[in-house]
Amino acid sequence: MNGSPAKMGTISGTAGHSSALKMKAESNTQASALKAKTDYVAMQAKSAKNDPRYGKMSAADYKTEVKRQVASKKAGKGYDAMGAYDSKGTKLAPDPSRNADISNKKVSTKGRTKTTTYTDAKGVTVTKDQKNLLNKGTTTKKVSVMADGTTKKSKFKRDADGDNRVMKTTTKGTTADGAYVKKQKSKFDKDGVRKKAKTTIKSDVDGDGKVDRKFKIKTNDKKGTKKTVVKEGGRRTVVKTDKDGNTKVRSRRTLKGFLTGKGKKTKKEETPAKKALVGNQKNLPEHLKAKIDAAPGKMYGKSMAKKYDK
């Protein structure tokens, strides 16, 4: 017959009771032996690599923290993050450096994509999707919704070393100048250092649903140059900045400006050299007449000095 006589019920009375007690004692002894083999020192060293705060705890506090988290796991609550509770199990305030309340963070994984959702201390709702591209790196999409309705969508591409390679951001919101849409794209080298960036800002100033102002900014960090193009009021203005900080400005009227009658160039004030002289200039000293003749400005006809003889 297989099995223990105590379990099968073939032994009754004192004999069966003694056998059961003996088996229970042996089981407790084995459990104690396994428990004694737990190397908390090695566990703490391993945990410290993931979170340096574990390394700052004493051996006794770390052991207490392990037991608390194991109890939380058995209760169906899962393992608690070290940032949410201290070694005694007391709930901590949100860590400002993480800009998020860990207690409201929700993480779900589907395939190779991990989705994280949380609300930070400023009331910004953030949804972040991170896709693992194995040896090629990762692609992360992040959506932030501000309390004032401003939305910011970002997309990051990182290589296998974790360095940024491409970043795209789209922000939509409203300011005192009206509704706007801002798009930015940045490219990085293999070391994660930005090479160049392109930013476009479109604004609807009067709220008619049409773009009234458009900015285009191109920055080349490697060359140290920058180009800004502004279209507004029927004119297109280009500002170029070279690596030495020198700027060149050019402005012209756009086709839309000609069609709408906008963007006309303002009339410049007439230069003093072109203004007609009045009074008894012929009586001026010769050295003043020479200075007037040498003044900048295009002259037509006779020189000013000859006019004095009239």
pLDDT in tens, 73-104: 676 656 665 555 555 556 555 544 444 445 57
Indicate the DSSP class of residue 269: P
Q: What's the token pair of residue 149? A: 């309705």
192-230 in b/e form (b: 16+ CB < 10 A) is eeeeebebbbbbbeeeeeebbbebebebebeeeebebeb
Q: Is the pLDDT of residue 42 over 90?
A: no
Query: What's the confidence (pLDDT) of residue 153?
Result: 94
Domains of the chain, by residue range, sit at 5-36, 272-307
The segment with the largest mean pLDDT, out of 80-84, 190-194, 294-298, is: 190-194
Query: What's the confidence (pLDDT) of residue 280?
Result: 61
Radius of gyration of the chain (CA): 39
CA distances from 227 to 167, 192, 203, 306 (A): 20, 23, 19, 49
pLDDT band at 305 (very low <50, low <70, confident <90, very high): very low
Q: Is the pLDDT of residue 121 over 80?
A: no
Mean pLDDT of the chain: 75
Whole-structure pTM value: 0.49
Q: What's the token pair of residue 252? A: 């012209």
Provide, rounded to the nearest whole percent, the portion of the chain with pLDDT above 90.
23
Rounded CA-CA distance 31/69 in Å is: 19
Q: Is the pLDDT of residue 306 over 80?
A: no
Rounded to 5 degrees, what are φ and ψ at 24? -65, -40
**Residues 215-243: pLDDT tens digits?**
999 999 989 999 999 998 889 999 999 98
